[in-house]
Amino acid sequence: MPTDRIPIAPLDGVAFCPTPLHRLDRLSAEFDAEIWIKRDDLTGLALGGNKARKLSYLASEARERNCDTLITAGAAQSNHARMTAAVAAMLGFKCHLVLAAPQDQTGNALLDRLFGAEIHWAPGNDWKLLSDEVRRVCDEVLSVGGRPLEIPLGGATPVGCFGYVAAMAEIARQAGDAGIDFSRIIFASGTGGTHAGLLAGRELLGVPAPRLHAVAVAQPDALPKIVASLAERTAAACGSDASWAEEEVFVDARYWGGTYGEATQGGLDAIGLLATLEGILLDPVYSGKAAHGLIEMINSGEIDRSEPVLFLHTGGAPALFSSAFSGVVTAITTEDRDL
């Protein structure tokens, strides 16, 4: 199994695994389809999400390198920032978060402060501005004798990707136990780490299926190259010489809405539908858009209704309680859904 080849062990207690995998009976009945879900919104750490798997390895790296401070960056409603702050609190690290303007004090940003992180607001939401500010904060920590680990956006490093190498093996075991062969896994992709880990994990398992269907929520033109490179470096760290051409990495750019972090009507409709049919909370930035893609592809016939598909729920629900989305979220009604 690929987990035997991962060169670093995750820290126990950071992510609650395995997460449940089960059929969405009411949603399947609604569309006369075969829809399953992998509940990585239930990874436990700080209200859950896919970043817990990555941070279990990244925190292990920080321990091995004798770091005392975690530094990362993200949007004001970054799930990755929230969970980095939580793992720092849990393990006794200091934590600095560089967040993009405009400043927010609700949702994930509220939790960042609750976990004790020191927040540095960048002057805008340009990724270069964030990177420059992260570099400044790192230098400041070093100047006073700190030992920082700088974690890139989304935890998208080979070490972070080990979390989804392991998740791919976990999915294979659970699917085998359930006696089902998924044709594809549908999930949101922003910085590419989850996608790269799944891709490397599938290679290490030695199986061509299921197809990985990444629904872009940011930078769709850049993602194939980013994911191919990251998957190759992740596989190499696990002793594989696998490589991927950019054109071999599939990224679906149809549902992101053209701007990272902004809600789309299709995503909001999907949030309302999963809430009312399954009691499951999605978010407007990531999982809602991926679920919109899933539903739209079933409706259009792109996904055959007899085809067993797995929706990977990567978390993000705290954004529902942010001022950035409070207006659009409260406007969701089942009568208004248009899927």
CATH number at residue 96: 3.40.50.1100
Is 81 part of any domain?
A: yes
In the chain, the number of structural domains is 2
Question: Band of the pLDDT at 101, cuts 50, 70, 90?
Answer: confident
Lowest-pLDDT range of 151-155, 223-227, 290-294:
151-155
> Of 98, 120, 154, which closes a domain?
154
Q: Does one domain contain both 190 and 205?
A: yes
Please report whether residue 326 resides in a domain.
yes
Same domain for 56 and 39, yes or no, is no
Q: Based on the domain organization, do 208 and 221 belong to the same domain?
A: yes
Domain boundary among 154, 178, 194: 154
* Encoded tokens for 121: 């607001």
pLDDT value for 16 = 97
pLDDT at 150 over 60: yes
* This prediction's pTM: 0.95
Split at pLDDT 50, 70, 90, the class of 334 is very low
Closest C-alpha among 261, 318, 267 to residue 41: 318
274 is a domain residue: yes
Residues 225 and 326 in one domain: yes
As a whole number, mean pLDDT of residues 176-181 equals: 96
Confidence (pLDDT) at 130: 87
SS3 annotation, 76-123: CCCHHHHHHHHHHHHHCCEEEEEECCCCCCCCHHHHHHHCCCEEEECC
User: Residue 333 pLDDT > 70, yes or no?
Assistant: no
Q: Answer whether residue 35 is part of any domain.
A: yes
63 shares a domain with 46: no
244 lies in some domain: yes
Asked if residue 197 and residue 104 are part of one domain, the reply reads no
Same domain, 184 and 283: yes
Confirm whether 78 is domain-assigned: yes
Domain limits for position 76:
51-154
269 and 244 co-located in one domain: yes
Report yes or no on 148 lying in a domain. yes
Q: Give SS3 for 299.
A: helix
310 and 264: one domain? Answer: yes
Mean pLDDT within 70-81: 95
Position 41 confidence tier, pLDDT thresholds 50, 70, 90: very high
pLDDT at 331: 66
Q: Are residues 224 and 166 in the same domain?
A: yes
Let me know whether 262 and 306 are in one domain: yes
| Beta carbons within 8 Å of 102's beta carbon, 6+ residues apart | 76
Catalogue the active-site residues: 78
Q: Which residues contact 170 (CB under 8 A, 6 or more apart)?
A: 17, 18, 19
How many helices (H) and strands (E) in the chain?
11, 10
